[in-house]
Amino acid sequence: MLRQILCEPRLDAVCRDLGIPVRLRRNNRNIYNIFDDGGEFLYRRCPPDIVFNQDGTLTAASAGPTFKPPRDISCNRERFCDYPTDVLYNIKELPHYNDCGVIEAPIGLVNNHTFIYILQQKKGVKIEHTITFVLVHSPEVCMYPHSEIYVMKDGVRLKDVRQETLKTEIRRELSKIFTLKHEPSPNFKLS
């Protein structure tokens, strides 16, 4: 807490230098882990060359670069954003991600989303796993809306996803949930 009080003014100057709007900075606001599963959305940045299906969903392959690595997935929650494109601010260095796209997902579809996948190994052994996405509000000094999607495997948070079968499965699930919100454009400028 003391560290936060002492360090935040200095870091706030960094946010200013980066051109992050005041409304998006943390400014000593608390973590707010209550999500409106009924209407709130999550926004995430996606690379400029991503391919979308005709219905606006991501192709499973596009989910690869969009959610790489597929764990602790950073997003902005709608509640503390004025625009979905707020997620295009780079809070570490310039330039911002003006040319990137934005994808969205209703929080109700993401938070506690659980699915079972059946892994069949080469020897023919079948193992059933339960995967759950858990959403947490994880504010940054320059980005208060910042949140993360934790990936839980059989109730344990995954800190690294090395298993290729699991990568494929997580990509598939995320590609079904997220849709295009803001098309990547080389001419877009953050206000």
- Closer by beta carbon to other proteins, 66 or else 143: 66
Angle at 68 between CA 158 and CA 88, to 5 degrees: 120
Asked if 157 is part of the footprint of other proteins (rule: CB under 8 A), the reply reads no
Provide the H-helix boundaries in 19-163: 63-66, 107-110
Choose, by CB under 8 A, the member of 167, 174, 184, 188 that binds other proteins.
167
Q: How far is the CB of 147 from other proteins (least distance, A)?
A: 22
119 is a site residue for other proteins (CB under 8 A): yes
Q: Which of 167, 181, 148, 147 is nearest to 64 (CA)?
A: 167
Candidate list 16, 23, 29, 68; residue touching other proteins; CB under 8 A: 68
**Contact by Cβ (8 Å): 82, 76:** no
Interface size with other proteins, residues (CB under 8 A): 26
User: Which own/partner contact pairs does 125-133 have at CB distance under 8 Å and 24+ positions apart?
Assistant: 129/153, 129/154, 129/166, 130/154, 130/155, 131/166, 131/169, 131/170, 131/173, 133/173
Our finding on whether 48 is near other proteins (CB under 8 A) is no
Does residue 169 belong to the site contacting other proteins (CB under 8 A)? yes
Does position 109 bind other proteins by CB under 8 A?
no
Q: Which residues bind other proteins (CB under 8 A)?
A: 47, 51, 59-65, 68-69, 115-122, 164-165, 167-169, 171-172
